[in-house]
Amino acid sequence: MSDERDETRKREEEASGLLEQSLSRGSLFRRAAVGGAAGLSLPALLAACGGDDDEEGETSAQTGTTGGTQGGQKLTFYSVTHGETGNVFWAIYRNGIRDGQKVYNVTVKDLPLEQFSVAGYVDLLNQAITAKPDGIFASILDQDAVDQPLRRAIDQGIPVIAVNIPDTRPVGQRIPYLFYVGGDEEAGGRLTGQRQLKEKSSIKHAVCIIHEPGHTGLEARCRGYDAELSDAGAKVDKLPSSKDATQATEQIKGYLQKNTDVDAIFGVGPQPATFALQALDELGKKDVMVSAYDMDPTLLDAMDEGTLVSTIDQQQYLQSFEPINWLKLNVEHGFVLAPGVDMLTGPALVDKSNVAKVREGVEAKFR
């Protein structure tokens, strides 16, 4: 009894999540191909909604007939990423794999790298290529190291989509994968800056707090934020902080005591933002805006309380769900995007206007 209820509730959550993803999909595309993508996502949406009152098997069958499979055999794709199991961010990505398999009636083999090692990652890729799958989506962990194996896969006719980390070289030089599905960190920083300027157009002095100095992605978030606010005439500092909670909080307090005119803070992850909120609370300062990056229930609470202005969602669920959709479309119908066009799943801004909706997604493990 209760199992059935759980199942139904889960379906409803999935459906609402999918609906939401589909509706916001228009904003994902950087350049052209916007209309096409929005249209193509409709079958997914319909299939998901149809699943609401059907048995699981029927859902798959239904979707199967929508797309059609080659020779009656299920397509097999490989997901090869550096996303270790047990990490929240990647758990959401895996939920995208789980749902993508069901919705598009394909088999997806997940090969995560458990211990960070570029050589180990190349081994995983080779393992996937040896299996001669119908498609591969992989993170470009190290563009030089994965260049050779991925080109070999593409030469063998295996379509490849880059996820989460792109090959940063210009089109023509970069690995000729179909396109990249993932976030743009610098754009996320810019978007945060824009959101804060909307709150207060005359920001005087802002600070970007970075808890892992030297981390390429985090530095890019700071860079985007700095660029946006500097253009608006603000002075922007960067405060590299300790990873330790107490040490970071005290450093932020020290910084705020020295720089009493600071009126905007950007923590490049949930931790520095939480520590900044703690520091402001302990100092009794109320007139400083704080924004965060990435998703965390605590951040959503802070937004409800009005202490946090915004955060950024990478929508990593789409970083597995969309490649499954597109690999299938590519294999079966040869669909591609315009050359050089990537699919950006982030940054998506979360603020008080959409926090309630986003919270549903977080609780259902879509975000």
Partner 1 sequence: MADEEHGAPAALGEREAARSSNGARRAWSATRGLLVGRPETGALFGAAVMFIFFALRADHFTERSSIAGLMSITAELGIVSMAVALLMIAGHFDLSVGSVLGFSSFLVPFLMLEHGFTAIEGFVTALVVAVAIGFANGFIVVTTRIPSFIVTLGTLLMVRGSLLGLSGGEPARVEQGSWVFRVFSYRIEQDDAIIGGFLEGYQVSIFWFLGVLVVLSIVLLRTRFGNWIFASGGNERAARSMGVPVDRVWVILFMVTAFAAFLTGVIQAGRFNVVEATRGQQYELQAIAAAVIGGARLNGGYGSVLGAALGAFMIAMIQQGLVLLGIASYWLGVAVGALIIGAVILNQTLGRSRPQI
Distances (CA, A) of 307 to 178, 220, 225: 42, 25, 19
User: Which residue lies nearer to partner 1 by CB, 67 or 83?
Assistant: 83
Least CB distance to partner 1 at residue 211 (A)? 9
**Phi–psi pair at 86, nearest 5 degrees:** 95, 0
User: Which residue lies nearer to partner 1 by CB, 54 or 360?
Assistant: 360
Least CB distance to partner 1 at residue 305 (A)? 12
User: Which residue lies nearer to partner 1 by CB, 251 or 325?
Assistant: 251
Least CB distance to partner 1 at residue 114 (A)? 11
Least CB distance to partner 1 at residue 203 (A)? 20
315 close to 348: Cβ distance less than 8 angstroms: yes
User: Which residue lies nearer to partner 1 by CB, 92 or 318?
Assistant: 92
User: Which residue lies nearer to partner 1 by CB, 60 or 251?
Assistant: 251
Least CB distance to partner 1 at residue 86 (A)? 5
User: Which residue lies nearer to partner 1 by CB, 66 or 298?
Assistant: 298
Which residues in this chain contact partner 1 in the complex, by CB under 8 A?
86-89, 91, 213-214, 238-247, 249-251, 253-255, 257-258, 270-271, 274-275, 278, 282-283, 296-298
User: Which residue lies nearer to partner 1 by CB, 233 or 254?
Assistant: 254
How far apart (Å, rounded) are the C-alpha atoms in residues 270 and 358?
A: 16
Least CB distance to partner 1 at residue 298 (A)? 5
Nearest residue to 47 via CA among 347, 345, 325, 312:
325
How far apart (Å, rounded) are the C-alpha atoms in residues 27 and 344?
A: 8
User: Which residue lies nearer to partner 1 by CB, 173 or 259?
Assistant: 259
Least CB distance to partner 1 at residue 224 (A)? 18
Least CB distance to partner 1 at residue 240 (A)? 5
User: Which residue lies nearer to partner 1 by CB, 24 or 242?
Assistant: 242
Nearest residue to 280 via CA among 290, 267, 270:
290
Least CB distance to partner 1 at residue 90 (A)? 8
